[in-house]
Homo-oligomer: A and B are copies of this chain.
């Protein structure tokens, strides 16, 4: 899943170059990193990417190993449920195969543990014909993530714990989040899934029948015809998340407890965890001379950045545009993007 525009990473992320196509945390782009993470587990010929139509060319360039026919541009953004349904129909010839659903913009560095978790998830998907999700051990009472409530006893395969899921819950308020975390019975919803192709198609038929029937009427055997039909059908699909549309309603849901590190890198603050850090807590990907400055987050490419007497700023240079933002206001970078849209500065979007 490589949709999404990542306005929170403006000015690095642009309409033509969203977060997943950028090297936000390292030298590779996030989608290159996601693809590389599957090495040894899923052969490149069996990887599909669903993205916005505008990004298909860039993705093919960034990952030349992908089959051209496997990089699919959505006619418009319709959230994750439509994206997953589209992918499942593309694979419908193999109903017994296991399909992993992975966002292209997460950071996971422990590839070995990641692959081990995926293997266990695949095994559960086959053994129990389950919808399998990946639960992330909460490290704080996050209000920005959905949670999974666990049910019954945990079991283990090959050192990886798993459990049935009682329910999916939406982003909670602070006090609810606290109670979830202290109970020990909740995990963050990592937004990654494993299931048999046939099982998720059945789930769409049951829980999102309109989406299912719209897509099932398409003749998928002829790519050109399918492409034209999709352009007509896709904009009318229900725009909802797979969590809300399927997982919250489904039974027989399992969670694998992730043993790998995980970050959805939702803001510069989160990205800065991957930058090098000086003694004053300044996180920078560029040469930084910080005089009496603390808690900065800096990415200005090859540019030298010098600061005097400033604290807790996000300083991001993207060549034609520069952002200087109070760290506490990181979520409001969206306001800049809104103003660019409202004004005549569309070329900076």
What is the oligomeric copy number?
A: 2
* CB 8 Å contact bits of A290-315 with B (1 = contact, 0 = none): 01100000001011111111100101
A319 partner residues in chain B, CB cutoff 8 A: 303
Which of A85-93, A175-183, A273-281, A332-340 has 4 or more CB atoms under 8 Å from chain B? A332-340
Q: Is the CB of A315 within 8 A of B322?
A: yes
Q: Does A129 contact B (CB under 8 A)?
A: no
User: Are A287 and B345 in contact, with the CB atoms below 8 A?
Assistant: yes
Minimum Cβ distance to chain B for residue A320 (Å): 6
A11 within 8 A of partner (CB): yes
Contact A309 B321 (CB under 8 A): no
- Say which one of A133-141, A225-233, A323-331 lies at the interface with B: A323-331
Q: What are 25 A-B residue pairs whose CB atoms fall within 8 Å in the complex?
A: A10-B306, A289-B336, A289-B339, A289-B345, A291-B335, A291-B336, A300-B322, A303-B319, A303-B321, A304-B348, A305-B322, A306-B321, A306-B322, A306-B323, A306-B324, A306-B333, A308-B324, A308-B329, A308-B332, A308-B333, A309-B329, A309-B332, A310-B324, A315-B324, A317-B317
Measured CB to CB, the residues of A under 8 A from B are 10-11, 287, 289, 291-292, 300, 302-310, 313, 315, 317, 319-326, 328-329, 332-333, 335-336, 339-340, 343, 345, 348
